[in-house]
Amino acid sequence: MKLWVGLGNPGPEYARQRHNIGFMVLDAIARRHGFSPWRSKFKGEVCEGMIAGQKLWLIKPQTFMNASGDSVQPMAAFLKISSLDITVFHDELDLAPGKIRVKRGGGAAGHNGLRDIDRRLATQDYWRVRLGIGHPGMKEKVHGHVLGNFAKVDTWLGPMLDAVADAAPLLVGEKPEEFMTRVALLTRQEGGA
């Protein structure tokens, strides 16, 4: 059993913001793989399903980004799941739009959602899927960029969400390199990033 976490902020006013790309990815995965309907639990929206023969729980914390751990930790404890079976999908300023990197462990790199999950789990030893949203170029523009909506010019977003959903079985199978390669190939074919 695995727990996949998508980071974002709750509410329709935040739905299209770059900071919510983690929610968007989980929605795409749940749709593609026929997961159960979303329901409220553990201060989040949760659903469940199977990918590649593996039981998966998805959670979108509804606590706002800075308190994401208040949702993730209780669910992980309830499921009696190891941090090694948790994967967090989050926006990443330091990657070009549409690029994806997967790694286990590491620091929060200024990401408040990760920082709070680290605090509540008392470990950094979980998987992270870093979803590139690009950097606006100047530090003083970061806040507005992250909390800004995706624009029509961000044509890479749909193909990237579809590619992650298609390649999800590789991530379930703990094949991060193959997952990243597959996403890159699919987005290239779609004319995306």
End-to-end CA distance of the chain: 32
User: 19, 33, 111, 145: which one is catalytic?
Assistant: 19
Relative to beta strand 127-132, strand 100-104 is antiparallel
Please give the single-letter amino acid code of residue 179.
Answer: F
Q: Is position 33 annotated as part of the catalytic site? A: no
Distance CA 139, CA 158 (A): 27
Residues belonging to the chain: 193
Token pair for residue 145?
């960029």
Among 46, 33, 54, which residue's Cα sits nearest to residue 5?
46
Catalytic positions: 19
